[in-house]
Each structure stands twice: as structure tokens, then as C-alpha cells.
Amino acid sequence: MTISFWRYSHLVLAISSSLFLLIASITGVILAFEPIIEKAQPYQPSGASELTIAELLSNIDGKYEEVLSISSDKNGFITASVIGKNGSENFYIDPFTGEKIGELKEKAAIFNFATSLHRSLFLGTIGRFFIGLASFLLFLMATSGVALILRRQGGIKQFFNKLVKTSFLHDYHTILGRLALIPLIVISLSGTYLSLLRFSIIPEENISHAVDYDAIEASPKISTADFKVFNQNTLENFRSIEFPFSDDVEDYFLLKLKKKEVIVNQFTGEALSEQPYPFVALFSELAMMLHTGQGTILWSVVLGLASLTLPFFIYSGFAITLKRRAAKIKNPYPKDQCKYVILVGSEGGTTRKYAKLLHDQLLAAKQTSYLTDMNKLSHFKKMEHLVVITATYGQGEAPSNADKFKKLFIKDFRPKNDFTFSVVGFGSLAYPEFCKFAFDTDDLLRKHPLSTQLLEVHTVNNQSFEAFSEWVNPWAEKVGLTIELPKPDNLIARKKTQKFTVVNRAISSNVEDNTALIELKQEGNKKFESGDLLAIYPENSTRERLYSLGKSKDGNLLLSVKKHELGLCSTLLHELKIGDSLEGFLLENKAFHFPKKAKRTIMISNGTGIAPFLGMINRNGRAHEIHLYWGGRTGNSFDIYKETIEGALADNQLTTFKPAYSRCCDKIYVQSLIEKDAPFITETLKENGTIMICGSITMQKGVTQVLDQICQKHNNQSLSFYQNRKQIKLDCY
């Protein structure tokens, strides 16, 4: 079944039951305290459960004028109903002495109030019905939630694996969902069952005894202390005993044990009738215990905590849905009048925001643009340029608003005129099938006889605004437009910057590299680590450019920057001289910090991607094995890093260094080195070592492909297995 089915079901169930569930959960949390408070009372002396019923009766014998009944409550506390000096009384007794040890307390008003609200909303039968229904809907929601988590995690085996992070609310909706799953299923099913029982949909059977009163004998009379059935059963197994009304031989002891009732002749001790409780009665008792936690502190705590998660689920669930729907599409022109058609595939709403950004810019440039979901593909009479902007979900699959696209495209898409197309894929490199659905869509479009591909598929990792805008300019140029995307505040807000001064700088002697190694000293002392990022905003621009940082021996920032012809930031950085300063912002990037617990770390980089590794190697206290693979153009490309690397090798801070040069010597890429060292790499992963990759996206793609192949071959595991265990750390751009 498709993800949209489960998501839709989950949402509809939540909408229809949230109010009731909110009330039931808050009252449920209050009620969870009741059994905890009760159970904490000192009315159960240790060892009491081992006393026999005969011993209990002997211990109470003679203490009161008359004993009417004795019972064991849900907590195992013994209560007696007696006639004493003050008339009829009920209280807790010590089963070893028969003495009164405490008064029966009335239920606290708050618990009475919470119970009524929890059971019936103070609305009697109607209220009970809605609460019962909400309970069942909660069970269905848990089921649809499981289906959604299975889709997110990629199968049952990965159900409890670490999540690939998306947003706080989305992630914790899933994490708490997994933790509270079993208790919530138990609460919902037991609640449903108790409602069915209350409405007699499940019929309750009563025990009926058949005693032949004419045949009851009054002899041989023996002492109750010698009754067989009283000696055979302990308080562990005891519910209650009702004493005979009179000395008539027809009056008897009614003994209720955990699983059966016994009628006992008051003179001879003979069991006159024995009836087991029906299954429904025992099951109802279990359901009650599971739903209320009565009698067990631990389960009450679990129930209380599980109830507490419901308000969070309700809040986060609606917040996620609203975010998804936030990017509402407005189309001022009818679909058949538009020259530009933008189709969007989005699950969480982010890709839709980006598509809308482009759509709005086209409209602002007085172009006829039409934006719609991929599932709404149809005939667009005047379409000349088609843009598909889509995320990938599941394991390389379509998002829910694009899952019918392929079918529609093959069956119904019949444009009459030539059209160009360009596909932008949104995805995450943390997934093995990076932007797969975008590539699949591109393949499909390429096969159309009237289509012309304007640009290769462009991928955007982690919703990077920069990566998206890198596609916009060449595309706009190809269709004869100039578009400057304004960076919306809600994508990434400009941060409060601080000042950095250049204290060192080296330029690569290979002119083609156009690379600088720059050391910056910060004004202030904000903490940072190698692997963190420096955000730079060129003057008059809200655009942010992020650089991976190394931390030098002196605690300064190490940055390696390649100058791009039209790159505002890289030009600015390259032009800086020693003593110059610039504004920037330090961003923590925990996911790319050095793994201090791993004994061996393999670092793979190309070009300027070496910068964070220089910092990590600089600060390695030799306890860790570090192996660095680095790809550059020629031997000269290495010059600016040479001193640090050779120094680290001499000091044992770096164990091995293996360069791959693409324009000289063996003319190889870094992934060839990885392929050659396959056994070493796979052994490292097997022994919980870490692989860190930093550099260009192209290099990352090549390297992860090779890593996946060698992991499958040597370790019988896919790369995602190690990714999920956080043994693969990526920082590519």
C-alpha cells in the first residue's frame, strides 16, 4: 500500500479522535498516579502471600464479634468486614494477627473526577461510546504509524535503527512513536475491550453453582483450621471469603480464589460446588489491570508516560501536516495558457517551497508559469518548458504526490509540440538511493519523442538553497531569462556574524587549482571543532556560503578555498591579505566531528575537502590511527598542505597518506585507491572504525558507489548499514 494511504489514514484518524484522546491522555496521566499511591501504602506485611487461608481464619478468629467477609484487594492488601464493638466496620487487617491496621480510604476527589471524565466525559452512555471509539481509533493510528515508520526506515529489520534526521518534530514523532508503541497498543486495545464489555457487545457470563441442599451433611464436624480447601490455598491465590449467615447446614462459606469459586460446607469442610471463572471474566480482569495499572507500580509508570506522549503526538502531527500544506500553490494563469510548467514532487513540503520560489520569480518576470503536483500531470497546450522539481522518498521512491506520475506519463501524456525539460532532485546523501526518483523521472522524460533535455539532472542535498540556486541561473540562461532567486527568510535566516582576521595564507603553485589555504583568527572565543562550518555572506547578499573548517594547532580556523570564476565568496576570500578581516558565522556540525571513540579513522577527500582533516590530524593525540586518502590534480596541488601532512606523518599523528593525482603520475581518482585497499577498508568498518568523506559531490558519489560495492562483496552488508551505525560521515558540497 502507498505511503499516501497510510499518511492519509493516520491524519484522518488523528483529526477524528484528537479531542477525545487529549482528554483521555491527560486524565490517564492523572489516573496513573492512583495505583502508585495506593500500592505504596504499608498494608502488606512481607511474607503474607504465603499464609494459607486456614491460617488467616485462625489468626482472625475471636478478634471480633462476628466476621462477615475477608477480601484481598488489587494490591494484595487484606480487608475485613466485621461486626465489632462499634457495629459494622470495614478496614485493613494484618493477616498475621487479624488486627486492624488501617482505615479504608475514600477515593480522592481528583481521581473520582478524572475517572468520570476519562470513562464518559461526564456524558453518560454517549460519552462512553466516544471514548471507546477513540480508543479503537488510537489502535488504528498506532497501526498506520507502524506502516509509516516501516516506510521511513525501509523495512522491519531497520525499524529500530537510528533515524536519518529531518526535523525536530518529525524525528521525535517517530522516536517517541517507537518507544510508546507497545504501551499505546495495550492501552487502546484494552480500552476498546472494556468498552465492548460495558456495552454488552462482549457478553459477561456469571458463575452458577448447583448445590444439592437436601444432601448436605452436618457431620463429621471438623475445625475450619483443618478444612482441606483452606489449607491447600494461600493468600497468593485468594480473592475473598464470605462467612455463613447462620449455623444452618444450608449456609456455607463462599470462597473466591483467583481462578475459581468454591462453596464450602461450614461443618465438614467439604467442597459442595467448584466452578472455574469463565474465560471472559478472567480476560476482563487482565484487560482492566493492563488499562489501569492497578496493583503494579512499574506498569502504572509506563502507562502514565505513554499517556503523556499523546499530547506531543497530537501537537507534532498537526504541526507536520500544516508545514506540509504551508506552501500553497497559486496559479494566476490557466494551465493551457502557460509556457512554463513546473511539476513538483514533495512529501514534507520543502521541495514545494523551492518550486514555488521559481514559479513566483517566473511570474514576476511576466512569464506564464503553471505549478502543480506531479500526480496532476495532464496535457498543457502551450507548454514549451517543463521543469520537474522532486524529492525522493522510501528507498529511492516517489513522494506521495508523485507516485502516479510514471503511469500518467506513459498513458495520458500526449503533448502536441516540442518541449524542453530539466529535472532537479531533492534528496539526502545519507540515503543510498540519492535522488533516485529524480533520475528515474529524467530517464522517462528523455525517452519522449518531443522532449529535449536542457540540463543534466541537478541534485540538491539536504535542501541546500545554494545548490538549488546553482541550477536556476544556467537553466534561466538556456530559456533566455535572467532570474535572481531571493533567499526566503524561512529557508535559512542570516545569522549574527563575528569578525575573523587573516593570520596566514598560502596559494597553490598549480595555477589551474586556484586554491588557497587560509588561516583565520576569530575575534572572541566561540568554541568550535574541526568539521564545523564557517558561514560567509558576501556584501549586499543574503546568500550564505558554507566552508568546512579545520582547527589549527594555535586554535585558529583553517579554510581551503577554490576560487570560482563567478563565485562572490571564493573571490572575496582569495583576495584577502594577511591582516585583512571579514565577517562570518561559526556553525556547529556535530555530524562531522572527529569520532573520538573509533580506534581507526579513514579520511577520504579531494581538493579543498582536506581542510577539516588537516585540523583533525593536527589535534590527534596519537591514540588514534588515521589514514588519509586525498585526490588532487597534480603533485603541485599538494604543496600547500605538504608541511602539515609530512609533519603529522613524522609525529605519528597520521598513520598513512595516499594521494591520487588525476592529471599526472598514475592519473587516477581517489576511489581507485579505495578499491585497491578494499580488504583494509572493509576490515576497518567491521571493527567499528569510521570513514569520513569530505570534498566534491562528484567525488562523494564515486567513492560511496565503490564503498557500497566492496561492503557488499567483503562484508555482505550495504553501505547504508554502516551509515545507519554512524560509521560513515559525510560533508560534501
Contact region with ligand FMN (CB under 6 A), list: 287-295, 434-442, 450-458, 572-580: 434-442
Contact region with ligand FMN (CB under 6 A), list: 403-411, 431-439, 548-556, 638-646: 431-439
Contact region with ligand FMN (CB under 6 A), list: 181-189, 310-318, 393-401, 551-559: 393-401
* 152/714 with CB nearer ligand FMN: 152
User: Residue 669 — φ and ψ, nearest 5°?
Assistant: -100, 165
Does 463 sit near ligand FMN (CB under 6 A)? yes
Q: State the Cα–Cα distance between residues 371 and 363, nearest whole angstrom.
A: 11
Does 395 sit near ligand FMN (CB under 6 A)? yes
The CB-of-163 to ligand FMN minimum distance in angstroms stands at 8
Does 427 sit near ligand FMN (CB under 6 A)? yes
Does 720 sit near ligand FMN (CB under 6 A)? no
* 324/600 with CB nearer ligand FMN: 324
Cβ-closest position to ligand FMN: 427
When binding is defined by CB under 6 A, the residue of 25, 166, 192, 720 that contacts ligand FMN is: 166
Helix ranges (DSSP H) in 422-544: 436-446, 465-478
Q: State the Cα–Cα distance between residues 36 and 299, nearest whole angstrom.
A: 9
* 432/647 with CB nearer ligand FMN: 432
Does 346 sit near ligand FMN (CB under 6 A)? yes
Angle at 468 between CA 519 and CA 328, to 5 degrees: 135
Spatial contact of 284 and 165, defined as CB atoms under 8 Å apart? no
User: Please, is 725 exposed, middle or buried when counting C-beta atoms within 10 Å of its C-beta (0-12, 13-18, 19+)?
Assistant: middle
Does 351 sit near ligand FMN (CB under 6 A)? yes
User: Please, is 325 exposed, middle or buried when counting C-beta atoms within 10 Å of its C-beta (0-12, 13-18, 19+)?
Assistant: exposed
Does 393 sit near ligand FMN (CB under 6 A)? yes
Spatial contact of 103 and 83, defined as CB atoms under 8 Å apart? no
Cα dihedral 40, 45, 51, 53 sign: negative
> 124-153 and 109-120 are packed helices; what angle lies between their axes, rounded to 10 degrees?
70
Beta strands (DSSP E) in 489-556 are 498-507, 515-522, 533-536, 545-548, 550-551
User: Residue 88 — φ and ψ, nearest 5°?
Assistant: -80, 135
When binding is defined by CB under 6 A, the residue of 28, 95, 399, 631 that contacts ligand FMN is: 399
| Residue keyed to cell 476519562 | 118
Does 428 sit near ligand FMN (CB under 6 A)? yes
Does 348 sit near ligand FMN (CB under 6 A)? yes
Instruction: Please state the separation of Cα 690 from the chain's center in Å.
Output: 24
Does 631 sit near ligand FMN (CB under 6 A)? no
Does 355 sit near ligand FMN (CB under 6 A)? no
Does 634 sit near ligand FMN (CB under 6 A)? no
Does 431 sit near ligand FMN (CB under 6 A)? yes
When binding is defined by CB under 6 A, the residue of 347, 373, 403, 677 that contacts ligand FMN is: 347
Binding-site size for ligand FMN (CB under 6 A) equals 25
* 143/428 with CB nearer ligand FMN: 428
Angle at 680 between CA 675 and CA 683, to 5 degrees: 120
Non-local (6+) Cβ contacts of 292 within 8 A are 31, 34, 35, 300, 303
Does 350 sit near ligand FMN (CB under 6 A)? yes
Does 488 sit near ligand FMN (CB under 6 A)? no
Residue 29, H or E segment: helix 3-39
Contact region with ligand FMN (CB under 6 A), list: 59-67, 137-145, 229-237, 433-441: 433-441
Does 472 sit near ligand FMN (CB under 6 A)? no
Residues 134-153 that bind ligand FMN (CB under 6 A): 152
Contact region with ligand FMN (CB under 6 A), list: 118-126, 427-435, 530-538, 676-684: 427-435
Non-local (6+) Cβ contacts of 89 within 8 A are 81, 82, 83
Does 392 sit near ligand FMN (CB under 6 A)? yes
Summarize as ranges the residues that interact with ligand FMN (CB under 6 A): 152, 166, 346-352, 391-396, 399, 426-428, 431, 433-436, 463
